[in-house]
Amino acid sequence: MKFLLVEDDKITTLSIYKILNNEFNSIDIIQTENGQEALNYLKNCSQNELPHFIMLDLNMPIMNGFEFLSFLRQDDRFSNLPVVVHTTSSNPEDYFECVKLGISGYFVKNVDYKKFKETLIDIVKYWTNSLSN
């Protein structure tokens, strides 16, 4: 299982690596710090090198999550890639904008580490099971 993590916060990134590497034996996390880096990464992938899904933060420098989603959905090579948004924003407008841009899931980063960990593991298990069937 390979997924692209688009996240600029180093503490969140380290937490995600720690949680998933402890929980899953064969997970390959590719991390970029903003939407532009993520798009550059994807454009350099062959079709069989693409990640199975993308976990996307919304609030990032250079290119935010909304901009990234817009570009992603306009490119036929990436338009069907599942994207799960993970953000600190519980603003309904942000959620609805992401839905319009074709997200596969949305979760608000919980400050409670245990809940954050459980949610993250559930999401990765879901995509692992969905994509292996």
33-76 confidence digits (pLDDT tens): 999 999 999 999 988 889 989 999 999 999 999 999 999 999 98
pTM above 0.85, yes or no: yes
Q: How far apart are CA 126 and CA 107, in angstroms?
A: 14
Q: Give the pLDDT of residue 124.
A: 87
**Are 55 and 6 in contact, with CB atoms under 8 Å apart?**
yes
Q: How far apart are CA 3 and CA 31, in angstroms?
A: 9
Averaged pLDDT of the chain: 89
Domains identified in the chain and CATH numbers: 2-132 (3.40.50.2300)
107 closest CA partner among 125, 88, 128: 88
**What count of residues does the chain have?**
133
